[in-house]
Amino acid sequence: MAIHFEWYENPVPPNQPDEKKLHARITYNGKIGTDYVRRKIQERCSLTETDVTAVLDALSHVLGQELGDGRQVHLDGIGYFHPTLKCIEEVTAETKRKNTKVRLKGIKFRADQALKNEVGAVKLKNIRHNGHSRKLSDVEIDMRLRAYFTEHQLMTRADFQQICGFMKSKAMEHIRRLRAEGKIQNIGIPTQPVYVPVAGYYGVSRDRIVRQ
């Protein structure tokens, strides 16, 4: 096993030396969901999958309450969570009603060393990307989607790119084809599509189809 990565170039900002610096970016090897994590946790302890679901749900609520009160939360062996803020517009000393210009930006996470140790010493493999999509037949794409939907309920365009190794334009071309063939459907909004399989495709029965 290895973490795959590729090199990419940041655009050179105006008035900066024309120095092309390369940065390493992970090429993710798929994505797992709660169902998979729940099963893996159940395999490692005496809890049932129902118990694990209840614990994860309770954990989400407790984290939300404590972070909402401005606390940093530490989970042993996992890491630290803390809220971050942003200003929705420029604020100066003369700005009136400054407090109304602040919103929650997000939740930051910093891993414990114990979690890093669980990951262990990783092998890195450079994926040489030539700027072109992989060549897959329609049958090969269907096989990859069937494997993906065995572990996942939803798929984004970015997920599809990773599944098939496509560039964005090629991914959109095949997504339009799959929709036209009635194999997948968008349950999101036009600007933020989220795709699910149509009943009867990719090993997904009608009762597993996610509804909007």
pLDDT at 1: 58
Beta-ladder partners of 104: 85
Residue 156: its pLDDT value, please?
A: 92
- Residue 133's pLDDT is what? 60
pLDDT digits (tens, 9 = 90+) for 81-131: 999 999 999 999 999 999 999 999 999 999 999 999 988 877 887 766 555
Say what the pLDDT of residue 152 is: 86
Q: What is the mean pLDDT of residues 151-162?
A: 88
Higher-scoring residue by pLDDT: 35, 61: 61
Strands (E), the chain: 3-9, 22-26, 73-75, 79-87, 102-111, 124-126, 184-186, 195-197
Q: What is the model's pLDDT at position 47?
A: 93
pLDDT, the chain, mean: 84
